[in-house]
């Protein structure tokens, strides 16, 4: 139901365009809040925050807040501040992630920590995180505050969990799913759930949108992890093979390791320990991930979560907002092809 017929009669690829169009007016309001509230007399704060915030992100999470509100025909404006708070939390975690990973490239641009150093990235992240809570307090919903403070704690927990699992090639698929559920899907879920709270859509709507966001978030992260072994830097905006070189044990690695020969396993163990980081090693890893079916099965898992996300929208009536939310899922799982 989400594909439209183009002039040439071909089925167009799924895209974010319907969701972007659906939320465009609201997103202008959100962007105004973001620009206003990242200001500070301390010049380094807007300078550094602006680099990342203006840096070509898709605003996926605040867009989900806005689209969820549209699904419920919410007529108010409270979600603008809250969507900005969600983006601030996300930006703060990106700043800290790049410090943690020592990343030099994000969305095809040099990272803030590379330009301004780790100390500035840590502290501006803290500032944005605090500012997010100030925005929520201004809105005044304790329920929203509960959802997003809990999500923030879960995200940090997931990041520490990921750090502990780093370079551990024996990480189980279940443990991996637990990590990405915490570090990625929790904020997607929260971004979607806060709209039925302010729209007073009821518990069923809250749970349905939370389930939608959570499954979408997992699908999104699975595809992201697959892309690290399948795409080139230009499409990706992060260096291909970053996860590989950082010893991040993602699902493609877990599956390829589990399915591999004892030689393959020895390769993966050494690679995750940081002893195989050349371009040739990455090429070999990519070949193993393809030949074992690890890549295609990671993407199949992503499609499974994508179907769950779409099914979670069952309680809501058909319409433009629902179609946009469905197509956002299709876009998320199609990115790697």
Least separation in angstroms between CB 122 and a copy of itself: 5
Residues whose CB is less than 8 angstroms from the CB of residue 297 and which lie 6 or more positions away in sequence, other chains included? 255
Among 25, 43, 234, 314, contact with a copy of itself (rule: CB under 8 A): 43
Instruction: Judge contact between 190 and 86, C-beta under 8 A.
Output: yes
88 lines the binding site for a copy of itself (CB under 8 A): no
The rounded distance, in Å, linking the Cα atoms of 93 and 232 is 24
Q: For residue 161, what is the enclosing H or E element? A: helix 142-165
Read off φ and ψ for residue 11, nearest 5 degrees.
Answer: -75, 120
**Spatial separation of the C-alpha atoms in residues 53 and 89, rounded to whole Å:** 12
Of the pair 180, 295, the CB lying nearest a copy of itself is at 180
d(CA 128, CA 89): 7
User: Which part of the chain contacts a copy of itself (CB under 8 A), choosing from 17-25, 151-159, 205-213, 265-273?
Assistant: 151-159
- Separation CA 77–CA 83 (nearest Å): 10
Among 59, 96, 214, 276, binds a copy of itself (CB under 8 A): 96
- Check residue 5 and report its DSSP letter: B
Task: Closer to a copy of itself by CB, 78 or 96: give it.
Answer: 96
The contact mask relative to a copy of itself for 8-37 (x = CB under 8 A, - = no) is: ------------------------------
If one asks whether residue 170 binds a copy of itself (CB under 8 A), the answer comes out as no
Q: Does 120 bind a copy of itself (CB under 8 A)?
A: yes
Give yes or no for residue 181 binding a copy of itself (CB under 8 A).
no
CB of 117 to a copy of itself, least distance (A): 9
User: Does 155 contact a copy of itself by CB under 8 A?
Assistant: yes
Under the binding rule (CB under 8 A), the answer on residue 123 touching a copy of itself is yes
Give the whole-angstrom CA distance, residue 151 versus residue 149: 5
CA–CA separation, 49 vs 92, rounded Å? 9
| Of 178 and 320, CB closest to a copy of itself | 178
Nearest CB to a copy of itself, comparing residues 58 and 150: 150
What is the Cα Rg of the chain in Å? 20
3-state DSSP assignment of residue 309: helix
Distance, in Å, from the CA atom of 137 to the CA atom of 4, rounded to the nearest integer, reads 42
Question: Among residues 20, 160, 277, 334, which is the contact residue for a copy of itself, using CB under 8 A?
Answer: 160
Give the phi and the psi of residue 109 in degrees, each rounded to 5: -115, 160
The residue (of 125 and 306) whose beta carbon lies closer to a copy of itself is: 125
Q: How many residues bind a copy of itself (CB under 8 A)?
A: 43
Q: Whole-angstrom distance between the N-terminal and C-terminal Cα of the chain? A: 21
> Does residue 215 sit in helix, strand or coil?
helix
Which of the ranges 11-19, 28-36, 134-142, 184-192 carries the binding residues for a copy of itself, by CB under 8 A?
134-142
Q: Give, as ranges, the residues between 255 and 294 that touch a copy of itself (CB under 8 A).
A: none
Closer residue to a copy of itself, CB minimum distance, 23 or 171 = 171
Q: How far apart are CA 173 and CA 150, in angstroms?
A: 24
Q: Residues interacting with a copy of itself, by CB under 8 A?
A: 40-45, 92-93, 96, 99-101, 118-120, 122-124, 126-127, 129-131, 133-134, 136-137, 140, 142, 145-146, 149-150, 152-153, 155-157, 159-161, 163-164
């Amino acid at each position: 139901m989400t594909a439209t017929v183009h002039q040439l009669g071909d089925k167009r690829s799924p895209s974010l365009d319907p969701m972007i169009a659906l939320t465009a007016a609201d997103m202008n309001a959100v962007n105004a809040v973001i620009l206003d509230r990242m200001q500070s007399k301390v010049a380094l704060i807007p300078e550094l925050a602006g680099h990342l915030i203006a840096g070509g992100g898709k605003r996926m999470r605040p867009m989900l807040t806005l689209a969820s509100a549209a699904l419920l025909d919410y007529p108010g404006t409270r979600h603008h501040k809250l969507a900005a708070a969600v983006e601030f939390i996300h930006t703060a975690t990106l700043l800290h992630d790049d410090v943690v990973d020592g990343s030099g490239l994000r969305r095809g641009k040099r990272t803030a920590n590379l330009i301004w150093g780790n100390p500035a990235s840590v502290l501006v992240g803290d500032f944005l995180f605090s500012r997010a809570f100030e925005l929520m307090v201004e809105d005044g919903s304790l329920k929203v505050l509960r959802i997003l403070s809990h999500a923030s704690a879960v995200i940090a927990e997931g990041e520490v969990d990921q750090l502990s699992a780093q370079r551990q090639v024996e990480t189980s698929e279940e443990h991996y799913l637990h990590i990405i559920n915490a570090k990625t899907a929790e904020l997607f879920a929260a971004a979607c759930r806060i709209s039925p709270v302010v729209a007073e859509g009821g518990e069923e709507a809250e749970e349905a949108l939370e389930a939608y966001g959570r499954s979408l978030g997992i699908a999104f992260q699975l595809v992201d992890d697959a892309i690290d072994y399948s795409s080139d830097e230009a499409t990706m905006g992060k260096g291909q093979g970053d996860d590989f070189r950082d010893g991040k044990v993602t699902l493609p690695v877990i599956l390829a390791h589990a399915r591999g020969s004892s030689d393959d396993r020895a390769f993966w163990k050494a690679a995750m320990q940081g002893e195989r980081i050349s371009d040739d090693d990455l090429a070999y890893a990519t070949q193993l991930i393809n030949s074992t079916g690890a890549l295609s099965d990671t993407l199949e898992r992503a499609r499974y979560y994508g179907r769950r996300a779409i099914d979670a929208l069952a309680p809501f009536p058909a319409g433009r907002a629902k179609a946009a939310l469905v197509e956002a899922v299709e876009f998320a799982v199609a990115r790697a092809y």
